[in-house]
Amino acid sequence: MSSAEEFLQRMERLQAAKGEAFKPLAEILGQRAAIQKEMATVVAGFEERLAALNEPYGKAYASAEKAGWTAAELAELGVEEPVKRPRGRRPGKSSTARKTAARTGPVLETEAPERAAGAVPTPAQESTGETAGAAKFPYV
């Protein structure tokens, strides 16, 4: 029979062999991580450069349209419409901000029951699903 010390020596030899086999994998994993980090940096740089061209591209596109080119003609030539930002409000107070600022007292139940102190929200209406389901999913 083998002694406990012999079992431990065999186990250590196996672990050493496994460790040696893992070394090339660990090296490659490190290289891959470095390349992925570099790639992310390069991609971020390209995205910034593209974003910087959005405004001049939009102006050039608008100039082409003013010169008589239609969106359909430009699209046929392979020119994409510029990215349009959603129209926002101009900075300043909106009418709702003025109304909210003017109201400094407590909210009365008769004014706005849903905002009054102690108001209980209305429970959701239950449905059999026939009408609501048909309205939301006409293909069912």
pLDDT tens sequence across 1-46? 579 999 999 999 999 999 999 999 999 999 999 999 999 999 999 9
Q: Are 106 and 119 in contact (CB under 8 A)?
A: no
Q: Are 83 and 94 in contact (CB under 8 A)?
A: no
SS3 81: coil
CB atoms within 10 A of CB 74: 15
Nearest Cα residue to 61 out of 49, 50, 69: 69
Given the structure tokens 């400094």, which residue do they identify?
104
Q: Convert the pLDDT of each residue in 80-135 to its tens digit.
A: 999 876 666 666 666 555 555 555 555 555 555 555 555 555 555 544 544 444 44
Q: Are 58 and 82 in contact (CB under 8 A)?
A: yes
Overall average pLDDT of the 56-82 stretch? 95
